[in-house]
Structure 1
Amino acid sequence: MPAGAARLRLTLADQISESGRMTDPAWRAAIEAVPRELFLGAELYRPNGAAWEPVNLAELDEEEWLRLAYSDTTWVTQVDGIDPADAPGPVVGRPTSSATLPSLVVRTLEVAGIREGDNVLEIGTGTGYSTAILCHRLGDANVTSIEYDPHLSKRAADRLRSIGYSPTLVTGDGLQGHSEGAEYDAIVATCAVRHIPRPWLWQVRDGGSITTTLSGWMIASGLIRLTLDDSGTATGRFTGDTISYMLARPHERPPRPVFHRLPGQPRPSRIDPGLLQDWTGHFIAQLAAPSAEFWTSGENDVVLADVATGSQAWTEVGQDGWTIHQHGPLLLWDQVEVALRTWQKAGSPDQSALGMTVTDETQTVWLEVPDGPSWELPA
């Protein structure tokens, strides 16, 4: 007999609780109640080498499908705007929507500190699963969710209505928020941003919070909860969680150009490029070079390419250690090197040592204390 969905929801709730990502009984009740399989629909993508392979419910038996739905896994539901139902076969591209793993949904909501009676704006409806979790906890009247993609927005609305939820759903740019529902006790983003959109500051009440993942074009991430004071300044510390969300579409990277190593002045590197493989080291490097992309070439070489100026930096290893080559108006490796050495001098702490201050004029991420070493975001 196929395993029942209700029993699998209980098992999933147990797994999330045991992981330490869920401590509030109200969120557990929501995980136990909301049918995740409904929000996955009849098709999704799973990785197949460098491609994404569409999977149809009709190809799986019921038990296999339900176990897939209730695994604590992120399932991609759209690649470059193409639904799996419309894919002719495996596709190569960038995921543009997904069903986020339930433990990350709950962890984000717990970091946000949401309580009964809160008026919440969710940025990124996506499949609607996290919206349903919020509705179960808060009631429809206290939940507003905004989705950039009209197709995803309509589908999520249909699925939410089918199980009796009727939150305020908006189709539009979540970076602009939704002023008609303000003021909010909390704004929670299920996408990542390069900087905090100013409308979010304007739409949260004094003492309210903004919980989001800060990311960038190097695809390094940090989860943070910011609290707004009565002067309009939002401050907070990163949690240290090693989690990530997709970038909001208006903040996405431009298409990566074909990379050619250009001649530049070589010099020995003063840091090991392997530092960029560390979760926090990667994040620090992104703060130092916010318009650059990062990837590895070959077995060990690191490449940085600046989208705005065409500047580049690339490493190679020899008998005497690492050599860095830099080309263009920005000395990208110099910027990254200074930042990472500053972080090392502080003892190479994890992201919980980082904080952020946001005003209408400036947005900075700082190390250890607000007046410590800092990096300004491209706001």
Structure 2
Amino acid sequence: MSDHEKLLRQLIDSMTASGSLRTQPWKDAAAAVPRHEFLRNGLFRVVPGSSPTAWAPVLEEGDGWLEACYADESLVTQIAGTIKPADVRGEIMREPTSSSTLPSLVLRMLEDLEVGPDMKVLEIGTGTGYSTAVLCARVGGDRVTSIEYDEEVALRAREALGRLGTYPNLLIGDGLLGGDEGALYDRIIATCAVRTVPAAWLEQTRPGGQILTTIGGWLSASELVRLMVHEDGTASGPVLGGQVSFMLARPHQAPPLGLLPDLSVGKEREAIISANVLDDWTTRFVAQFAVPTAQRLKLQQGPHDEDVLVDVKTGSFAALHEEDGRWIVRQGGPEQLWDAVEEFLDRWHTAGTPAVEEATVRVTPEGQSIHW
């Protein structure tokens, strides 16, 4: 048994023990796909102790490269939209823009997709092609369409899949617009997060079909959701939980904050809920449904540290600070952001603060909502 085969076997055993890999068909599919084939262009590792975060390249056959390929970790493969590991000597301090998702999450999502061997599947976000290959091993390449926004990333995935003799229908384009025009799919799975579920996905999923996607937002909290599409073109389904985090699809990323509104003006009142509640992941996920276009930042404003929500589109803001044991909120602009957050969280608390796994997301042409 080769080194990579031993490492792959260890990875499968680990995913099985953790509960990510639950059924024999997916165990067989995972065993058929050597992950290192999708990382031959290298990867980036975090430089220990760096602040802000610095990244160092690890090239094929370099020290620790093969072991990293079979670690149950997400591996960064692109920085700042264009930079590959081979482009860097030393370290780089920029934001990651493409990665190979940790295998346990890939397999958990594929299990949660509830896909059968005769189903037609659309994958949004080919990435390295690893998840595409596992999907093909389960249902066959002729039933898989995968679309990637970044042309260079897509070409590298095509090469890796070709080395394994795997030939799905690979597209280059905006996955938010769906796959082949006029096509209907039994399942759609997204390996990027979206702020709102695109209408094209609903239109391209046959009634009774399912969409598995991560819904996130600009308050930086996201969860995995499985939606069933109905005859009327709407969709609904459970939040699966697990605090699943993917990079937001590029068109869904938050706009630059730019010049902030004048935070010194506005109407003040005592806040019912402190800004500290937004330090909790689940609370932020719920609150995003109340203020879906708000971003959060912390500022030193006068004598106080302030926790601020800003909607750059409308110019609305809510600035909160603690004073003598009380929280004070100052709001300005056409929308009262903190009023909306307090009202929404109050409904959630009245329901007993249920776990997200008890929630259902509904998607209609008018938007999306969360319910208990």
Fold agreement, TM-score > 0.5? yes
Structure 2 CA distance for aligned equivalents of residues 233 and 15 of structure 1:
38
Residue identity opposite 2:370 in structure 1: W
Name 1:349's counterpart in structure 2: 354
SS at match of 2:136: helix
Among residues 334, 344, 367, which one is paired with 1:363 in the alignment?
367
2:249 alignment counterpart: 248
1:312 deviates by 2.2
Residues 179, 203 of structure 1: 8 Å contact kept = no
Structure-2 separation of matches of 1:216 and 1:230: 28
The answer on whether the counterparts of 2:120 and 2:143 sit within 8 Å (CA) in structure 1 is yes
Q: How many residues align?
A: 364
Is the CA contact (8 Å cut-off) linking 1:9 and 1:33 kept in structure 2? no
Letter in 2 for 1:329: P
2:194 is aligned to 193
d(CA) in 2 for partners of 1:9, 1:258: 50
Contact 2:145 2:171 in 1 (8 A): yes
Sequence identity (%):
44
**Shift in Å, 1:99:** 0.6
Q: What is the root-mean-square deviation in Å for CA atoms of aligned residues? A: 2.3
Q: How big is each residue's C-alpha offset from its partner over 1:33-77, in whole Å with a ceiling of 9 and x where there is no partner?
A: 21112212232223343233131326842xx22221111111111
Equivalent position to 2:280, from 278, 281, 291: 278
3-state SS of paired residue (1:287) = coil
Unaligned 5+ runs, structure 1: 369-379
CA distance in 2: counterparts of 1:322 and 1:310, whole angstroms: 22
Aligned to 2:327: 322
Question: Distance between the aligned counterparts of 2:224 and 2:89, measured in 1?
Answer: 36
| Residue pair 2:309, 2:319 contacting (<8 A) in 1 also | yes
- The Cα offsets for residues 114-153 of structure 1, whole Å up to 9 and x where unpaired, read as 1111110000001111001101111110111000111111
Q: Residue 138 of structure 2 aligns with which residue? A: 137
Alpha-carbon spacing, 1:260–1:79, altered in 2? closer, same or farther (3 Å)? farther
Q: Report the 3-state secondary structure (helix = DSSP H, G, I; strand = E; otherwise coil) of the residue aligned with 2:288.
A: helix
- Which residue is equivalent to 2:45? 46
Q: Structure 1 pair 353/329, CA: closer, same or farther in 2 (3 Å)? A: same
Q: Contact (CA 8 Å) 1:354, 1:365: kept in 2 or not?
A: no
Does 2:65 correspond to 1:65? yes
Tell me, in whole angstroms, the C-alpha distance in 1 between the residues paired with 2:93 and 2:256: 14
What residue number does 2:78 align with?
78
- Structure-1 separation of matches of 2:254 and 2:183: 30
Distance, in Å, in 2 between the alignment partners of 1:36 and 1:295 is: 38
Specify whether residues 312 and 172 from structure 1 end up closer, same or farther in structure 2 by C-alpha distance, changes over 3 A only.
same
- Structure 2 residue aligned with 1:312: 317
1:110-259, aligned counterparts within 5 Å? 110-180=111-181, 182-257=183-258
Partner SS state of residue 357, structure 2? helix
C-alpha separation in 2, matches of 1:89 and 1:322: 46
Question: Structure 1 residue runs of 4+, over 4 Å off?
Answer: 258-261, 296-301
The whole-number CA distance in structure 2 between the counterparts of 1:180 and 1:74 is 32
Per the normalisation by structure 2, the TM-score is 0.91
8 Å contact kept, 1:271–1:341: no
Q: Distance in 2 between matches of 1:96 and 1:241?
A: 22
